[in-house]
Chain A
Amino acid sequence: MVVSRRMSLRFLPLFVVCVIAIGRAATAPEPPSAPPADAALKRDIFAGFRAKEAENREKAANDFPTDPWSSDDAFHAYEDDRAQELTKKYHTSKTDVLAALDDGMREAHARGNRPMIPTVPPCHPRAIY
């Protein structure tokens, strides 16, 4: 029992450092989150994506004219840039911006309209970067 207590005390500094690490991580501040987007704003955001879809597809095809996966991946990089622009422009969260794109595509499909390509070429990372 005495040995056990002595052992526990010897590990106390390690325990304290670990507690500090856990405490530091658990109490880390969260960056301020943006206000949620309402339905009207989400429609505007979707329109913002839709307006750039063809242009971004063309740029991506230019980047990788013979590789469908790479071209699609490049398109998503342009789409990502667009998502950043829209997040800043409308002062809303990235989640809401991406959800607006998804909801917009799904709602359009429900109306029998597919303004954006809903499929992707299968994953095919390049052999050489």
Chain B
Amino acid sequence: MPSARHLLSRGFRGVQRVAASTPRRLAFFATLALVATWQYLASAHSLNTFRDAHVLSHYEWVARTSVLKFHELPLWDPYYCGGMYLLGTPQARFVSPTFLLTLLFGEPVGESLAAFALLVVGLEGAFRYARTRQASAASALLAAPLFGLSGIFAYSAQLGWINFFGFALVPWIATGVRRALQGDLRGAVVAAVAVAWCTGFGGTYAIPLAAVWCAFEVAEALARAARKRSWERARRILITAAAIGSLAAGLAAVRLWAVVETLGDAPRVVGGAPGNDYGAIAQMLFLNLQDDGPPGQFFLGGLAAPAVLAAILLFAMKRRWAALSLPLYGVIFTWLATGYASTPSLFAAMQSLPVYGTLRYPERYLILLALVVSTLAAQGLTLVTAAIRAKPKRPRLFGWLKLALVVTLLLALGPLLRQHVASADMRTLAPLAQVIARPFHQARGNRLELAYYAPMSRGSLSCWDAYPVPESPLLEGDLLEEARLADPTAGHVKEHDWSPNRIDLDVELDRPTQLRVNQNWHRGWRASVGEVGADRGLLVVELPAGRYPLSLRFSPRSAGGGLFVTLTTLAALGIAFARARGRGTLSLSMLSAAALVSPIAMAVALALFREPPLPVRVPLSPTGEPIVLDELPRGSVPINARFESGVHLVGAFLDTAKAQPKGTVTLELDWMRDSTIEPGIGIFVHIDPSKGDGLNGDHVDLSQALLFDAAPPGKVLRDLVPITLPKDAGGKEWKVSVGLWRVLRSGSRVRIVDPGKGSVTGDEVLVSKFDVK
């Protein structure tokens, strides 16, 4: 009868055989992914009713409909927010190979299959990354689920955050960069392709966080080169890193250009000082996923701990200090995850960098910690196995240790898979939306029920995304005609064909007039006749008199130019590989030459793909009033209070004409900024009654349209704040006090250095008092 040790030995050899063979390994990972997504796949014909799921599935639905129904590229989404740049909206995921699944099987089925496929990709990626850090194949196989099945993937599926499965590509990016920096330049291509895929899949967090990992890899490689005083090696590392960056940007350009343009036009402002103490982080990592709240969101479980500790102890005992870089990564990612709860806060320092200032949730750095843990666990088991082979003094101890590590890693699968099953059960599901084929119209809509609107040929003006989608206040949700003449007596216009990217009309005009289309303006709209423009963000065309067909089409430069750059970079890489095959290796000069093609292609695209000059933007309030003036508007009471940030409150005025219960009064604050100001300043407004609860009007942009950081210096900047009074507002005296606070940092108030004519207490200025009868 075979002993337990013999059985273990045979079992581990079996694991080794599976791990060493790519087809077997992928089959094993696919089986794990199948178990993890089983419930999810089983409900593929249902609608996840969570609000974010509505929005994210909507983007994919529109992309599929554009391709299959209208036979055009998915560029413009007329079904949401009054029309938005679909290719440029950062969270859409259709520029990805997984879009083929959506095209073949439809959005809901495609979504669940994309989750399954990306779990396999993530598991294999974690395996490969561990291998680049000298983990044995069997150890890497057993430890890969610690990343590939970690809580973020379970949690994201529950909320419909399918774009978060883009994190599955992070280990591929890390693997590619590490291999390339070690001299295998094919890794550069792996990293660049993974970055492009992740960008196309809506990796709004995955790409910036992966960049942090890559920066650590480069720093680690440079430190190794410096230790050996190999400056030539350091030079090659820097060139390789630059080449990876250029290739990644080039391959991702079809999506990246559009996203950068969109966020440049409508920057995301994230405030507050988010933080997590170590207790909260422990809950996220070790407690089971719950219906609500942070526990389990980044679940790893505790069963990886023995293998991770074994790795750290054995590296320390062997004095392999360089190998302790990975635990150091883990410490830094945990520190970052604490956000503002740590002092000093590394997260706060990161927020001062471009892009990183728009990342709201520090705890998402724990996703990178999962890759650290997965890799360290693989290294721990590898080191213990190697120690047995080296015939230690106490072989039985190491034998038992290996058994314990293998068993704990296998047992870890249970809780990991359980999070996925539990997460799928936590969803609230509903029947899919029904399709109603009829002419398109904008509706008032509801972003919380968005998935129902596009299938019934309606757009939802009710809008939310993580950034302020440019949206005209003139859009209407109950029109009978979506394209109208500003002067209806000038003639008539009739729509005869419609698709997301194109509107064809027959025009007959006695005199010139303006065509008003019930969609948002974007710089990508073109007209076959007349001149395209914007009226407070509404798409309009100045038309001449006459009888003619008019074709409006959406064709932004960033789409055509981005595609050109992506294809050119791809072609350059193809040529480099063909030459490498002839020479037997991909040299740094060949890689660098291919990488140089991206910026050249970008320059060519800028020259080839012309766009009409952008209309001059006059900042207006949502009610259409100008908000940048040369002098204080009539009625404003001068105050001239000066804040230490370089901002002055020059005047204020409260229109109390409707100061009645449930009435809306408008507060006007007139600001002025110096040429240099402290960035990230917001405005607080306290509206306090003589008795009862007060109102809060804290905000960041002036009249919801202009940030202090973007405002011109030396001008009066009008900040119009509507205040709707509560129904019990009557019989009270109300005081309105305002001040400035640091939105992007500590949240502290900005000191008033000169009160001017203002009544100041506690760094806030009393600007008005009024009675409500």
Q: Footprint of B on A, CB under 8 Å?
A: 7, 10-11, 13-14, 16-18, 20-22, 24-26, 28-34, 58, 61-62, 65-69, 71-73, 76-77, 79-80, 83, 93-96, 98-99, 101-102, 105-106, 108-110, 114, 116-125, 127-129
Would you mind naming 22 contact pairs between A and B with Cβ atoms under 8 Å apart? A7-B23, A10-B21, A13-B23, A31-B46, A61-B664, A66-B695, A66-B721, A76-B462, A83-B446, A95-B456, A98-B446, A105-B477, A105-B478, A118-B477, A120-B462, A120-B477, A122-B472, A122-B537, A123-B470, A125-B464, A125-B466, A127-B272
- Residues of chain A with a CB closer than 8 A to B477's CB: 102, 105, 118-120
Distance to closest chain B CB from A76 (angstroms): 5
Give complex CA distance A69, B699 in Å. Answer: 12
Give complex CA distance A94, B448 in Å. Answer: 12
Question: Are B43 and A122 closer than 8 Å at their CB atoms?
Answer: no
Given A25-B113, A31-B431, verify A66-B449 contact (CB < 8 Å): no
| Cβ-based interface call for B224 (8 A) | no
Question: Are B436 and A95 closer than 8 Å at their CB atoms?
Answer: yes
Question: Are B109 and A28 closer than 8 Å at their CB atoms?
Answer: yes
Partner of B448, one of A24, A76, A110: A76
Given A95-B452, A123-B465, verify A10-B446 contact (CB < 8 Å): no
Give complex CA distance A24, B42 in Å. Answer: 6
B445-483 contacts to A, CB under 8 A, are 446-449, 452-453, 455-456, 458, 461-480
Distance to closest chain B CB from A108 (angstroms): 7
- Residues of chain A with a CB closer than 8 A to B685's CB: 66
Q: B26-34, B159-167, B312-320, B375-383: which lies at the A interface?
A: B26-34
Give complex CA distance A43, B45 in Å. Answer: 30
Partner of A118, one of B112, B444, B698, B725: B444
Distance to closest chain B CB from A75 (angstroms): 9
Question: Are B270 and A127 closer than 8 Å at their CB atoms?
Answer: yes
- Residues of chain B with a CB closer than 8 A to A17's CB: 27, 30-31, 34
Give complex CA distance A127, B742 in Å. Answer: 12
For the side of the interface on B, what is the size category?
35 or more
Give complex CA distance A69, B465 in Å. Answer: 12
- Residues of chain A with a CB closer than 8 A to B24's CB: 10, 13
- Residues of chain B with a CB closer than 8 A to A125's CB: 268, 464-468
Question: Are A102 and B458 closer than 8 Å at their CB atoms?
Answer: yes
| Cβ-based interface call for B639 (8 A) | no
| Cβ-based interface call for B726 (8 A) | yes
Given A83-B446, A122-B473, verify A21-B116 contact (CB < 8 Å): yes
- Cβ contacts B702-726/A at 8 Å (1 or 0 each): 0010000000000000000111111
Give complex CA distance A58, B726 in Å. Answer: 9
Give complex CA distance A116, B465 in Å. Answer: 24
Partner of A28, one of B44, B476, B725, B743: B44
Give complex CA distance A80, B453 in Å. Answer: 13
Closest B residue by C-beta to A121: B622
Partner of A67, one of B270, B436, B699: B699
| Cβ-based interface call for B727 (8 A) | yes
Give complex CA distance A21, B456 in Å. Answer: 30
Question: Are A28 and B434 closer than 8 Å at their CB atoms?
Answer: no
- Residues of chain A with a CB closer than 8 A to B455's CB: 95
Distance to closest chain A CB from B21 (angstroms): 7
| Cβ-based interface call for B152 (8 A) | no
| Cβ-based interface call for B515 (8 A) | no
Residue of B23, B455, B464, B695 with most chain A CB atoms under a 10 A cut-off: B23
Given A61-B724, A95-B456, A99-B456, verify A25-B44 contact (CB < 8 Å): yes
Closest B residue by C-beta to A34: B431
Question: Are B722 and A30 closer than 8 Å at their CB atoms?
Answer: no
Partner of B432, one of A20, A30, A106, A116: A30
Distance to closest chain B CB from A114 (angstroms): 7
- Residues of chain B with a CB closer than 8 A to A28's CB: 41-46, 109, 112
| Cβ-based interface call for B697 (8 A) | yes
Q: Footprint of A on B, CB under 8 Å?
A: 21, 23-24, 26-27, 30-31, 33-34, 37-38, 41-46, 81, 105, 109, 112-113, 116, 268-272, 429-434, 436, 441, 443-444, 446-449, 452-453, 455-456, 458, 461-480, 537, 622, 662, 664, 682, 685, 687, 695-700, 704, 721-727, 743
Question: Are A120 and B449 closer than 8 Å at their CB atoms?
Answer: no
Distance to closest chain B CB from A23 (angstroms): 9
Closest A residue by C-beta to B723: A66
- Residues of chain A with a CB closer than 8 A to B436's CB: 95, 99
- Residues of chain A with a CB closer than 8 A to B474's CB: 119
Question: Are A11 and B23 closer than 8 Å at their CB atoms?
Answer: yes
Distance to closest chain A CB from B409 (angstroms): 21
Distance to closest chain A CB from B704 (angstroms): 5
Question: Are A24 and B743 closer than 8 Å at their CB atoms?
Answer: no
Given A13-B24, A123-B471, A128-B271, verify A21-B452 contact (CB < 8 Å): no
Give complex CA distance A93, B455 in Å. Answer: 14
Closest A residue by C-beta to B480: A110
Question: Are A79 and B478 closer than 8 Å at their CB atoms?
Answer: no
Give complex CA distance A83, B453 in Å. Answer: 14
Distance to closest chain B CB from A16 (angstroms): 8
Question: Are A13 and B443 closer than 8 Å at their CB atoms?
Answer: no
Given A110-B480, A120-B463, verify A22-B23 contact (CB < 8 Å): no
Question: Are A109 and B478 closer than 8 Å at their CB atoms?
Answer: yes
Partner of A124, one of B431, B446, B468: B468
Closest A residue by C-beta to B704: A124
Partner of A65, one of B31, B81, B723: B723
Distance to closest chain B CB from A28 (angstroms): 4
Give complex CA distance A93, B449 in Å. Answer: 13
Give complex CA distance A18, B30 in Å. Answer: 7
Distance to closest chain A CB from B305 (angstroms): 30
Give complex CA distance A49, B471 in Å. Answer: 25
Partner of B434, one of A25, A95, A128, A129: A95
Give complex CA distance A129, B269 in Å. Answer: 12
Give complex CA distance A124, B266 in Å. Answer: 10
Distance to closest chain A CB from B608 (angstroms): 33
Partner of B271, one of A33, A73, A114, A127: A127
- Residues of chain B with a CB closer than 8 A to A76's CB: 446-448, 462
Give complex CA distance A2, B452 in Å. Answer: 52
Instruction: For the complex of A and B, list the 5 residue pairs with the smallest distance between their C-beta atoms, beginning with the closest.
Output: A66-B697, A127-B271, A13-B27, A25-B44, A122-B471
Give complex CA distance A71, B456 in Å. Answer: 26
Distance to closest chain B CB from A91 (angstroms): 13
Distance to closest chain A CB from B714 (angstroms): 26
- Residues of chain B with a CB closer than 8 A to A106's CB: 441, 478-480
Closest B residue by C-beta to A32: B431
- Residues of chain A with a CB closer than 8 A to B41's CB: 21, 24-25, 28
